[in-house]
Amino acid sequence: MSPADSLQFLDRYGVVILPALAVAEQIGLPLPAVPALLAVGALAAHGRSSIPLVLGAISVAALAIDFVWYELGRRRGARVLVRLCQLSLEADSWLRRAESTFARYAARSMLAAKFIPGLTTVMPPLAGVFAIPRGRFALYDFAGVLLWAGTWLALGYFFSDAIVLVAAKASALGRMLGLVMVTALAGYILVKYGRRRLFLKKLRTAPVSPEALKRRLDAGDDVTIIDLRTALDVAATPYAIPGSRWLADDAIDEHEVELLRSRDVVLYCASPNDATSARVALQLKHKGISRVRPLEGGLAAWMALNLPVRTVQLPVAAADESSRRAEPTAA
């Protein structure tokens, strides 16, 4: 489909297509909602589309999906967030970024969340987990949808001549442009895949198995075990390996590094595919701590083997503007 055909398609079905793209973006699918919003804004500048109608359709669809996620978070707690984030290759960064943003700005964070990849998916269930009142959630979520969609529609409207000109030039190039775009996209995917493979290879720093760690603990070896999970991870699974201490990955400062330098250190996170423990192990090795290893499979693997755990308690964080990051303490 040429750019001109795409504009014509959006001219006819934009009121249906744009809400669908917005919903896809809400659930984390990488579909081109922003280019479509720009195109519809350009069409509106030439009297071929209605911005209020499109905004209304997007708002209804996005609010419906967001309320589903909100209720899941409110009823089922942090487990929903952990499982949702595990669908992403960057699960740990999604959840940590969302938690720190929400802890600082509370409901107001939803005003900007839709502009940030990852946060748009995580914020609605996070608001439910923190029990933000439904009316307040609806107000901020609705404002966030209008701000996000309205910004891109307005940009398309005011730069409509440039967008139409680009579409016309692209149509004139025809198949050659399509070939260039496909080649560029394929190259981008290959580069991203290669960089990810290299990153994962670096992270594969000799993990210690749960069984081996248990044997060392039984033998009385002096092992420092650090729990790197987020507060929401702890809320979802309120257990920890006996003897471990909770420490946020961004709280490992130079003082902590000096304390760990002469020790055997084991790091663990929540799930088998959480890269945080391996990433922090790599960072600590670069700082001169050679005896550091991630726990293979994380806490999930430890618990799957029915190895002993202790219960931890997570203080309830205030779900308003004064909310701060909660820290788990041993029960």
pTM (global) more than 0.75: no
Are residues 262 and 127 both part of a single domain?
A: no
| Total domains in the fold of the chain | 2
pLDDT, tens only, 212-245:
999 999 999 989 999 988 777 787 788 999 999 8
Is the domain of 161 the same as that of 79? Answer: yes
Q: 159 and 219: one domain?
A: no
Same domain, 135 and 282: no
Residues 166 and 31 in one domain: yes
pLDDT of residue 77: 74
Same domain, 146 and 240: no
Q: Which of 173, 198, 231 is at the close of a domain?
A: 173
**Parent domain of 237:** 210-330
Q: State pLDDT tens for residues 162-215.
A: 776 666 655 555 555 556 656 765 776 677 666 656 655 655 567 889 999 999
Tell me the percentage of the chain whose pLDDT exceeds 70: 68
How far is it, in rounded angstroms, from Cα 311 to Cα 330? 7
First to last CA, the chain: 61
Q: What is the mean pLDDT of the chain?
A: 76
Give domain status of residue 195, yes or no: no
Residue 186 resides in a domain: no
- Residue-level pLDDT at 198: 67
Question: How many residues appear in the chain?
Answer: 331
The CATH number for 312's domain is: 3.40.250.10
Token digits of residue 317:
């964080």
**Does 64 reside within a domain?**
yes
Q: Do residues 3 and 167 touch, judged by C-beta distance below 8 A?
A: yes
For residue 267, being part of any structural domain is answered with yes
Check residue 289 and give its pLDDT: 78
SS3 state at 192: helix
